[in-house]
Structure 1
Amino acid sequence: MQIADLGDVQLHYRIDGPSDGAPVVFANSLGTDLRLWDQVLPLLPPRFRYIRYDKRGHGLSSLPSGPYSMGALVRDAERLLDHLQVRDCLFVGLSIGGMIAQGLAVKRLDQVRALVLSNTAAKIGIPEQWQERIQTIKTHGIEALADPIMERWFSRAFRNTPECALWRNMLLRQPAEGYAGCCAAISGTDFFTPTSGLRLPTLGIAGSDDGATPPDLVRETTALIPGSKFHLIRKAGHLPCVEQPEEYAALLTQFLTDTGHGQI
């Protein structure tokens, strides 16, 4: 475990793989920490340098006062990659992590050479629903939203397994202020225009049972980028890397090959 002190925020990150490997960066979803990728990483080619981090207000990263802006979350990722001297990475972003990925690619094409936009969109929901969620968290805590969130995160079959309880516990252990702060960032974000200007290799991934970012929404965002590819993972919800890690890893591995990552 390592901490990058970026001044106004301290980000917890982890690096797996050789120090000279081509970088692959992961940004996780709202309400999860970097363990989101635990089942996928062992299935990926060992020659790459895999970088994961907890966004502000999540996991073992610090908890700045909210609300947060998407600009702040993008800047956190930018400064972390500068801190680690990362250029030309393949950036994998899931949900809010996919929004961060879009913003970073627009801002710093020297840092990002290819994108995986997983279970995400240029715009997610409407401000009113995010404000309602923020108010519920402030009044009753994350517990009040946990069951509906599990329904969006996972297919019915997975929700009936003991493992689902672990992910519910992870959600409940995120700081309420950090969760609400990131809800505010999503609420204020519409990347439709900037994302449509991107020109880089892009793979979109959706889950057939995703109740947060349905497949058509993910497909619509991915289609904004010319030449992009899209894949639907069946029997999976908002976190297909958890429900179908083998298929998810196979998609990432194929995309690494297709983009020639690490061969430039």
Structure 2
Amino acid sequence: MTTPLRRVAGGSENATMADGSAAEQVRHFSYQGYEFACRILECPAPVTEPIVVLCAAFQNIRSYHRYDEYWQDSATIVCMEPPGSYSPDPVPRTVGYEFDADALAYLLDELELPRVNLLGVSLGTAPTHRFAQQHPDRIARLILTGAAWSETMRPRFAELEHWLTLGRADEFARKLVELCVNGDPARTVHNRAAVQRALLEHLSTATEAEMVRYLAVAQRLVDHPAAQPGRISGMRALCVTGEHDDLTPPDLVRAMAADIDGAAFTTIRDTCHVSFLERNVDWADLVLRFFTDQPLTGLDYLTAVEYPAETASSLW
């Protein structure tokens, strides 16, 4: 459970604390010619397997820095960006998310991490789900958050591709925020206005290099499904989304949980697709609780915890 990280050779950047201890490392890798990085914050006395995070779309390895304070005393944190994220030539649209899952396997081999707690966020759930199908023995616990978009979303993803192709960061940002943040005034969403402003400001000021990367992300979203058919078993699993998430609606995420033996399903109250921003403290608490085998009952920020696979089997 407490396997230390191997100090692999290759490019790395280390940051240090004032006392000289290592605060984090950024490691650089190449998988089949596509470069990627991971950010590592090593815990000296972990109580659970390393938490490996697969970044969501339009994010990078720094996007989860805000959760360090909640997780770093319990587990080593490894945050991986998709291959080709910042390469001159991004992964082409014809390549499915199996490629990213294989890159994750490569990374865990390089770091000599035989078993991990795996967290897929939004688009990061696609390779996470495939990895879980292919390598269940390497996962102690699995969380898929904001997973399972439907085919009806493809035209919305095509809109993102359209504006990115035209180089219109402002329109791209507006459309993406509409997708991710539920704007219905009849729905209560924590910190809605602040999250909308922050996302619009960040996305609408994307650099030319970021726009190239974002376009590649949007193209793969258009062409490839969130998940491939096939059950998952052999690990504790949690599928969760925002209570008011229209991009990855609760019913679809519940159905994904039903294809994972023993998986729990729940939603985070008064949030939508970016619950990790809208209720960041509660989201971080949920992740840590699950990865350290604490109960999820009695939490005021969650709706009822369900076990869809067990419910489905009881109907036969």
SS in structure 2 of the partner of residue 193 of structure 1: coil
Contact 1:124/1:213, CA 8 A, preserved across alignment: no
1:115 maps to what in 2? 142
Question: Hey, what's the Cα distance between the residues in 2 that align with 1:49 and 1:79?
Answer: 18
Matched, 1:252 2:287: yes
Between stretches 123-132 and 43-52, larger displacement belongs to 123-132
Work out which of the residue numbers 232, 239, 243 in structure 1 matches 2:267: 232
Deviation at 1:207, TM superposition (A): 0.6
Larger CA deviation: 125-134 vs 212-221: 125-134
Q: Is the 8 A contact 2:147 2:226 kept in 1?
A: no
**What is the total number of aligned residue pairs between the two structures?**
256
Summarize deviations over 1:18-56 as a string: whole Å, max 9, x none: 267421101121112233323333123613111012223
Structure 1 position 93 matched with structure 2 position 120? yes
- CA-based RMSD: 2.7
What is the match of residue 171 of structure 1? 203
Taking the aligned partners of 1:136 and 1:254, their CA distance within structure 2 comes to 40
SS of match in other structure, 1:93? strand
With over 3 angstroms needed to count, the CA separation of the structure-2 counterparts of 1:202 and 1:165, relative to structure 1, is same
Cα drift, residue 88 of structure 1: 0.9
- 2 CA distance for matches of 1:155 and 1:35? 25
Contact 2:42 / 2:72 at 8 angstroms: preserved in 1?
A: no
The alpha carbon displacement at 1:90 in A equals 0.8
Indicate the residue corresponding to 2:193 in structure 1: 160
Q: Where do 5+ consecutive residues of structure 2 fail to align?
A: 1-12, 14-25, 184-188, 295-316
SS at match of 1:160: helix
Any gaps of 5 or more consecutive residues in structure 1?
A: 260-264
Corresponding letter in the other structure for 1:165 = R
2:227 counterpart of 1:191: yes
Q: Distance in 1 between matches of 2:44 and 2:110?
A: 14
d(CA) in 2 for partners of 1:116 and 1:181? 25
Deviates most, 213-222 or 135-144: 135-144
Find the counterpart in structure 1 of residue 310 from structure 2: none
Q: Which residue of 2 aligns with 1:11?
A: 36
Q: Equivalents in 1 of 2:34, 2:27: separation in Å?
A: 10
Distance in structure 1 (CA, Å) of the matches to 2:169 and 2:128:
26
Correspondence for 1:42 among 63, 69, 74: 69
Would the alpha carbon gap of residues 57 and 237 (structure 1) be closer, same or farther in structure 2, given more than 3 Å must change?
farther
Name the aligned partner's letter for residue 128 of structure 2.
A
Tell me the residue number matched to 1:262: none
Q: Give the counterpart of 1:180 among 177, 191, 215.
A: 215
Q: Aligned with 1:175: secondary structure?
A: helix
Alignment of 1:64-75 (within 5 A): 64-65=89-90, 66-67=92-93, 68-75=95-102
**Who is 1:30 aligned against?**
57
- Distance in 1 of aligned mates of 2:39 and 2:232: 31
Pair 1:197–1:249, CA change in 2 (3 A): closer
Runs of 4+ with deviation above 4 angstroms: 122-129
Distance 1:236 1:190 in 2: 21
More helix per residue: 1
Query: Matches of 2:235 and 2:68 in 1, distance apart?
Result: 24
Answer yes or no: is the 8 Å Cα contact 2:52–2:116 preserved in 1: yes
Which structure has more relative contact order (CA 8 Å, sep 6+)? It is 1
**TM-score, normalization by structure 1:** 0.84
Identity across the alignment (%)? 19
Tell me which of 114, 119, 133 is aligned to 2:160.
133
Q: How far, CA to CA, are the matches of 2:36 and 2:158 in structure 1?
A: 26
CA contact (8 A) 2:246 2:273 kept: yes
Q: How many Å apart are 1:129 and its aligned residue?
A: 4.5
Deviates more, 1:23-32 or 1:70-79: 70-79
Amino acid at match of 2:29: D
Cα shift at 1:249: 1.9
